[in-house]
Amino acid sequence: MMQEMLSSVREKTPLVHNITNYVTVNDCANILLACGGSPIMADDENEAEEITSICQGLNINIGTLNQRTIGAMLRAGKKSNELGHPVLLDPVGAGASKLRTQTALRLIEEVRFTVIKGNISEIKTLALGSSTTKGVDADVADIVTEENLDQVIAFAREFSKQTGAVIVITGVIDLVVNDKQAFIIRNGHAMMAKVTGTGCMLGAMMTAYLAANKEEPARAAAAAVCAMGTAGERAYEIMSAGRPHEGNASYRNHIIDEIFNMDGKILEESAKYELR
């Protein structure tokens, strides 16, 4: 399964429109090139619809949100919906400020997302902050553990039903959930938390996987999560093999290199996931 998803990205070279944050924009462009996709960054409202029309997928990341880009996000999202392109939302920092939370909720209200990806706190903020999510358990823990796994899956499944999106919750254990199935993924390394932008890179790469595998968004999202986690594991192995002076900057580069060099066989053999 994973091999098919990766191979499709490399064969189709999807062009991904990114309206993303300026902290990690370069890394997002490079991870897209590394995985077999192609990036374009355009966040001016006056060209958002035109640019997204020539792309195959749209990645919206609110990490450095400002009033100038909100209109571009809405216009690009609606145009992508009109064209049938997959759209991903990464609600970075939702819950940290009214602007972020209200903008993310407005985006969900006005744009039909293929995937909503965030950590459990961000996803919980959006689910509980929406007037259409009555009945969602308000006691879901902010850390996904083996003990509360079923509870978090049920929570994500309900949010998926209400939004129509695949819900991706990232953390020590990653979850990819829709209304029918849940992928529980245990790839990755703790060192990934020491690099700003691994989540942003994942969102960009995931959009390429979605664009290249439009009929199977949950499987595509799960494959992207496994690929990123595998790259993190393999990058750490490289650093541990006689490279004592390398740190988090080198680690980021090794992750991108591992995505660039990853083939279907590596991903298939390294992916650690189960279905529930």
Q: What is the pLDDT along the chain (276 residues), one digit of tens a residue?
A: 899 999 999 999 999 999 999 999 999 999 999 999 999 999 999 999 999 999 999 999 999 999 999 999 999 999 999 999 999 999 999 988 999 999 999 999 999 999 999 999 999 999 987 433 333 333 455 788 888 999 999 999 999 999 999 999 999 999 999 999 999 999 999 999 999 999 999 999 999 999 999 999 999 999 999 999 999 999 999 988 877 788 999 999 999 999 999 999 999 999 999 999
Going along the chain from its start, the domains and CATH numbers come out as 2-275 (3.40.1190.20)
Summary count for the chain: helices (H), strands (E): 11, 9
How far apart CA 143 and CA 163 sit, in angstroms, is 22
- Please give the pLDDT value at position 130: 47
Element (H, E) at 207: helix 198-212
C-alpha dist (Å) from residue 241 to 227, 237, 244: 21, 6, 8
Question: 231 with 259: CB under 8 angstroms?
Answer: yes
Name the 3-class secondary structure at 159: helix
Question: 217 with 210: CB under 8 angstroms?
Answer: yes
pTM score over 0.85: yes
Q: Give the rounded distance of the alpha carbon of 85 from its chain centre.
A: 16
